[in-house]
Amino acid sequence: MQYTPSIHSIPSFTTSTIEVSMLRLDKLHPIVSGNKWFKLRFYIEEAIQNSFDTIASFGGPYSNHLVALAFAAKESQLKSIGYVRATKNEPLTPSLQEAIQYGMQLEFIGRTNFQEIKNEMLLQHKVSPEIITHKTKTYFINEGGYGILGAKGAATILNNIGNSFTTIIAAVGTGTMLAGLINGAAQHQQVIGIPVLKNEQTIETEIKALLNNKSTHFSLLHQFHQGGYAKTSPALIEFMNQLWSTEKIPTDIVYTGKLLFAVNELLKENYFKLGSKILLIHSGGLQGNRSMPAGTLLF
């Protein structure tokens, strides 16, 4: 897949002293949207190089990651398996139906002990996000593409961006993309993450585990999660609709909506230094919006 950076200014966020732009990764591909291709690219390359015929990973019922993986695997002539954080008696979400259309086999492992089961499966197959054995033809990727290869791919998001931006800001789920951005950023650039999970005590450690230089400074602002993963509020929905009306930027309730809401609040609080040139990363993936009642969002 060819990558040509598409950077758009955000006039309603920009002032006479602070410039705000957005890297529109959501425009990169209609299915493998946003950061997904970057996080998957080196995993898929390694799987093919080592003659695996199947790729498996993990995700929720509205997982951008699983839909993107299903499509990317099909394009690479690989089979795919998605281990889903849901039970088989739950209705299939539009996202899971789409993954099936791309050939993904779904296995439902429930919600209660999802993380424990996932970690046990990875250990059973003697697979980590970075270490693959040849005892199975199935190549496992951790949830959200977390791992060294995922961060390596995410670092290439900043290719050909240039060093004029002073500040890079992105939403944080597993931390894989933020780790890549930290690895790929210039020394003078500040990298800020907006975690979308509530009370995420381990995320800083998980990000640092993927850094080329463990002492590299970055910031995490934990106050914008809106109640937790995939949680929302009337204020967030109103903001997302207003943003669409003024800027025609589609956002999602899980990641990018919270990212832009956070930056808007930070601008009001004069958080950024005068003269800042801020680059927001639109990480794509609007699958979470499918969980909202029809008509909630204007786009």
Alpha carbon 14 to its chain's center: 25
Could you tell me if residue 172 is inside a domain?
yes
The mean pLDDT of 233-246, rounded to a whole number, is: 96
Q: pTM score, two decimals?
A: 0.92
Residue 18 has pLDDT above 90, yes or no: yes
Domain check: are 41 and 113 in the same one? yes
CB 31 within 8 A of CB 71: yes
Q: Which of 57-61, 101-105, 290-294 has the lowest mean pLDDT?
A: 290-294
Domain check: are 92 and 232 in the same one? no
Residue 97 has pLDDT above 60, yes or no: yes
| Per-residue model confidence (pLDDT) at position 132 | 64
Domain check: are 24 and 159 in the same one? yes
CB 178 within 8 A of CB 205: no
Could you tell me if residue 1 is inside a domain?
no
CB 187 within 8 A of CB 164: no
- Residue 67 is part of which domain span? 36-148
Domain C-terminal end among 100, 125, 148: 148
Domain check: are 229 and 115 in the same one? no
Convert 66-83 to b/e letters by CB count within 10 Å (16 or more is b).
bbbbbbbbbeeebbbbbb
| Per-residue model confidence (pLDDT) at position 136 | 60
Q: Which of 85-99, 215-229, 249-263, 270-284 has the lowest mean pLDDT?
A: 215-229
Residue 131 has pLDDT above 80, yes or no: no
Domain C-terminal end among 87, 119, 148: 148
Between 198 and 89, residue with greater pLDDT: 89
pLDDT per position as a tens digit, 154-193: 999 999 998 999 999 999 999 999 999 999 999 999 999 9
Could you tell me if residue 160 is inside a domain?
yes
Percentage of residues in the chain having pLDDT higher than 70: 96
Domain C-terminal end among 133, 148, 163: 148
Could you tell me if residue 297 is inside a domain?
no
**CATH code (residue 17):** 3.40.50.1100
